[in-house]
Amino acid sequence: MSSITNYNNGGTTLSDSLVALVTAGASGIGKAIVEKLLENNYRVHVADINVSALTQLQTEYPTLSGTVADLGKSSDAERVFTDCITSHGRIDVLVNNVGIAGNTARVEDADPDNWDTTIAVSLSSCFYMTRLCSPQIQQNKGCIINMASNAALFGFPMRSAYTAAKWALIGLTKTWAMEMGPMGVRVNAICPGSVSGPRIDGVIERDAQERGMTPQAIREVYQRQSSMRIFVDAEDIANTVLFLCSEGARYISGQALAVDGHTEGLSNWLEP
C-alpha cells in the first residue's frame, strides 16, 4: 500500500505531527476514527483485512498509509508495525479497534473454531499490536485506546467469545495503564453500546434468526437497554477517541468509558 509523504495543510507540516495507528480502520467505527484524526492533523496508518475498503479509503485520503492484514496473526501484526514505522518513523497513538462479533449461540451450541477465531481477532490482536507499539508510545508519552464494549460491563447472552474478549480488554487496559503510567502513557478503553450501521444490522439479523423473532423486535430490545433509548453513531465514538488523545484527558488512564446512552443491563432482554 502507499505510504505517506510530507505535505502541508493550512501551513501545518504534517510530517511533524502525531502519528496514529488504527486497526480495522477502513470502514465503520474505524473509518470514523481515522477521519476524525486526519481532520485534527494526525498522520494515520490503517490496518484492515478488507483490501477493497482500504484501497477506497486511500483513494479518498491519498496521504493515508495502510497495510492489508489479518491481525489475528502475530506475523501480520509485525508487518503492520513495520509498515507504520517505515511510513512515519514513529507511533504516538494506537487505537486497537479490530474485532469481530463471533457467532450467536448458547454456550452448548457454540462452535469451538469460531471461539478461537473470535478470541484471536478481538483479543490477541490487541496484545500483538500493543506489544510491538508500546516502546514507541512510551518513548513519545503517547496513548493507547482499546475498543471494548458495554458487553464487557454486563455480559451478553449467546455471545460467549465476543463477551470474553471484551471483558479481557478491560483487564488489559487497566494492566497496561499500570505498567506504562510511570512512563507518561495513558491507556483507556471505550465501551460502545449498539452503534448504528451495517455491523449492528447484521448482528440484529443473526440474533433474530437464532431467537425466532423479527429483526425489528430485536432492535427494539437493544434500544430499550439504553436509558436514552438510542443507538450511538460512529461519530460519537470517534469524538471520544479524539478526546482521550487530547490534553483535556491528560490524567485519564485505566478507565473503561461507556458511550451508550447509559445501558441498564439486560433487564429488558427477551428470553428466546
Which residues are the active-site residues? Answer: 162
Count of positions (residues) in the chain: 272
Cα angle for residues 155, 156, 159 (degrees, 5° grid): 125
Whether 57 contacts 66, CB under 8 Å: yes
Beta strand 93-96 with 143-147 is parallel
Query: Rg of the chain's alpha carbons, rounded to an integer?
Result: 18
Beta-carbon contacts of 73 under 8 Å, excluding residues fewer than 6 positions away, are: 120
Residues 6+ apart with CB under 8 A from 182: none
Compute the distance between CA of residue 61 and CA of residue 201 in angstroms, rounded to an integer.
Answer: 27
* Contact in structure between 256 and 170 (CB atoms under 8 Å): yes
CA dist 239 → 7, 72, 81 (Å): 25, 27, 25
Q: What is the rounded (10 degree) CA torsion for 257, 186, 241, 117?
A: -80
Residues 6+ apart with CB under 8 A from 124: 72, 74
Quote the cell numbers at residue 23.
486497526
